[in-house]
Structure 1
């Protein structure tokens, strides 16, 4: 979009926050860059230029606006909508792969050479993987400077900087202030070092929390997840340790409380939480298309902004999807809870009244599973053990940067993995916005209520009009029923 000058100018002049994260406005006279919805007086068009990423604006010598905080805008929705190399790379960079494994590690995960990855990112985003990761480190550093009482040395290493000098230079270059000056500007009381870090996760309005949090609460696995005091809480397995997060829907943002055993996992944890809640979606585009169908229009108008509830761990969701094959939500929770109790790594809940006690078992831990233990039909036990073996061996990749179609084909090749499981994983683990579940019982019941075709093949043909947002159409179809997944607990 940044190449459409007139459209960008109109968005900036109208201070349209819907385009925050889509592109960044750089002001030639002041050498600052802003989000489109910046509340300041818009510059003259002849003084504007536009960039597709904050990293590109920084590389061109612009510093972040102190008023609109472009570094804290929602992420571009196109990285979640697309399955090409650039989109996969951006998802992995957001997940911290470059900080952990470098650019060669990123390229290896993508299956391309380092040169190919750098060339494509530069061509589309105006910045290479190192610059993009540097921009993310700067954003994480500012977040910690503003909201925690960590020392500057601790902030530097928690944000992923290799040295204090690089941290200081980057902060001064990006924000035109020293780290100490940035902290002095904050109006909030920093959180204690040993405590829980409070954050605000922005999103594009509208957002309907009912199905999003209702689904997570209704399917919560005991010990790993819970709904407590109006918030969804869960444990997180991260690169350097583990964490516990609390997520609560608020007006204009998601209130997030994070407790981590290693601060280096902060950006990774934030990325996982945003992915879980689908916060970088573009609800205006999604609802605009779905509203064009007279069958869905009343449900879109009633509760616009439905998101797809995802997962913080693709392998975890795949295991849970197999456990949920042909059983009720309650039965699936019970089975998952037993696995967690037997194989999950113990953790301490930072909330004395909380009930989070375990991490969901890793594929490696479940690879030792005794086939005679799970109280399931023998065929489903075989499916579970086959899936776990494929995940543990790396034959099936379900992380945020995976190839959607390759993951689908490899899942489908496993014994006992049918179309429903493949598409459920594609929707909630891989994040494919066009994943569709025509054989799902809830979808079929909704189709019957709405007069849509009853057979999977006919319904799939009818759903072609909802592409590329069929995963969101499923959320609206599910909303026609009275299942607990559609209700915000306590509402």
Structure 2
């Protein structure tokens, strides 16, 4: 979009927040870059340049605006909507892969040469993987500086910098302030947090309808691993360097996020996973505009615009839980998952009822089949899926190839269209995943005057592409079910 100068200028002149994260505005006279919705007086047209990423603006010598904080914009929706190389690379960079494994590690995960990845990212984003990771590192450092009390040397290494000197230079260059100055400026407006907890805000594009997101997460919460308590969703996180817990509370204009981590190096990864869980980088205007063109869906969209797709913080965990939920009620699936977590999950000392990390695929693959209280066919499917995940045969990670993952899933015994579709929707994050065989979808479709048979509904839904996963959310939300609305009570299944 940054190449459409007239459209970018109009977005800046109208301070349109829908375009935050899509592109960045650089002001030649001040050498500052902003988000399109910056509240400052817009510069003259001839003084504006537009960049596709914060990293590209930084490489061109611009520093972040202190007023609109463009580094804290919602992420571009492109990286969660697309399945090509650039989108896969951006999801991995957001997950911290370059900081942990370097550009060669990123290339190895994607199956391309470092030269190819560098060329493709520069062509689309104006910056290579190192510059993109550096921009994210600077934002991670800013969060640690402003939201916590870590000594600056610890902040530097936790954010992924190789030295304190590089940390100081990058923070000054990107934000125009020294790290200590950033902390002093933030101290007065900092939200209260308990010791050892980072308090931050996760932005999103409006409209935002949180009911089906948090309703679904609360209704399916596995005791010990996750819970709904005090108006917030809480859960444990298994991360690259350790583990953590998070609480997520919907607020006007943002999600209140409280993170407790055993290793601060996992901050960027934890934030990325929480954003993915709540689908916070979506573009609801584009989704809803497309779905409103169907007269059958339009009333559902109008009733509650801005619905997101509830996703996951751990794709492998979700896939295994999807198999546990085959042909049983939500309560029964939750009970099975809770028993596995209690028996084989890693114990953690978390707040409230958080006591376990969900077991790894490797631990579950090694279980004695006789100890799994489920029908023999589903037991075989569960263990085969765990084995495929543990061995790497099935990759559901942030940078995986969606088409290949679907092909592997389709080849596993006992993984039918519904299971593959729900994994694609929530674990892979495919915005066009569709589950026409789902009973709730078919029931809501019939009430809305849509075809109710899977084949006819699939043909009709071709007009909803590439947003069929969002259409499913609107259909599910039409049913008066607790999972479709905001929870009001603590999880009834708390351990």
TM-score normalised by structure 1 residue count:
0.98
Q: CA deviation at 1:488?
A: 0.7
Give unpaired runs (5+ residues) of structure 1: none
| Residue 493 of structure 2: aligned partner | none
Tell me, what secondary structure is at the counterpart of 1:33?
Answer: strand
Partner in structure 2 of residue 110 of structure 1? 110
> After the TM superposition, which parts of structure 1 deviate over 6 Å for at least 4 consecutive aligned residues?
190-193
Q: 1:159-170 alignment to 2 at 5 Å?
A: 159-170=159-170
Give the deviation of 1:192 after TM superposition. 7.4
- Give me the whole-angstrom Cα distance separating, in 2, the residues matched to 1:185 and 1:78: 33
2:41 counterpart of 1:41: yes
Task: Judge conservation of contact 2:21–2:76 (CA < 8 Å) in 1.
Answer: yes
1:407 paired residue number? 405
**8 Å Cα contact 1:149-1:192 kept in structure 2:** no
> Deviation of residue 454 (structure 1)?
2.0
Output one character per residue of 1:411-463: Cα deviation in whole Å (capped at 9) or x when no partner: 11011111111110110000000000001111111122222212211110000
Provide the C-alpha distance between the structure 1 equivalents of 2:372 and 2:68, rounded to a whole number of angstroms. 53
**Residue in 2 that maps onto 1:370:** 368
Which aligned pairs between 1:425-444 and structure 2 lie closer than 5 A? 425-444=423-442
Partner SS, residue 233 of structure 1: strand
Look up the match of 1:360.
Answer: 358
**1:299-332 superposed Cα distances (whole Å, 9 cap, x missing partner):** 1111110000000011000000000111111111
Matches within 5 A, 1:192-271: 194-271=195-272
1:372-407 deviation digits (Å, cap 9, x = unpaired): 112111000000010000000000000111111100
Counterparts of 1:118-129 in structure 2, within 5 Å, are 118-129=118-129
Residue of structure 2 equivalent to 1:462:
460
Structure 1: distance between partners of 2:341 and 2:183: 41
> In structure 2, how many angstroms separate the alpha carbons of the residues matched to 1:346 and 1:73?
35
Shift of 1:184: 1.9
Whether the 8 Å contact between 1:148 and 1:193 is mirrored in structure 2 is: no
- Native 8 Å contact 1:22 1:52 kept in 2: yes
CA distance in 1, matches of 2:448, 2:185: 55
8 Å Cα contact 1:31/1:63 also seen in 2: yes
Q: Which residue of 1 aligns with 2:382?
A: 384
1:290-439 aligned at under 5 Å gives the runs 290-349=291-350, 351=351, 354-439=352-437
Residue pair 2:55, 2:131 contacting (<8 A) in 1 also? yes
Q: Distance between the aligned counterparts of 1:388 and 1:208, measured in 2?
A: 34
**How far apart, CA to CA, are the structure 2 residues paired with 1:130 and 1:299?**
44
Q: 1:487 to 1:190 in 2, by over 3 A?
A: closer
CA contact (8 A) 2:432 2:469 kept: yes
What is aligned with 1:79?
79
Contact 1:149–1:193 at 8 Å: present in 2 too? no
Contact 2:249/2:257 (8 A) holds in 1? yes
Kept in 2, the 8 Å contact 1:191–1:197? The answer is no
Inter-partner Cα distance in structure 2 for 1:316 and 1:21:
30
Report if the CA contact (8 A) 1:98-1:133 is conserved: yes
Q: Is the 8 A contact 2:55 2:132 kept in 1?
A: yes
- Cα deviation 1:63-95 (Å, max 9, x = unaligned): 100110000010000111111000000000000
Name the CA distance, whole Å, in 1 between partners of 2:192 and 2:207: 30
Residue-pair matches, total: 488
In 1, Cα distance between equivalents of 2:250 and 2:115:
42
Map Cα deviations across residues 252-307 of structure 1 (whole Å, 9 max, x no partner).
Answer: 00001100000000111000000000000000000111111111111111111000
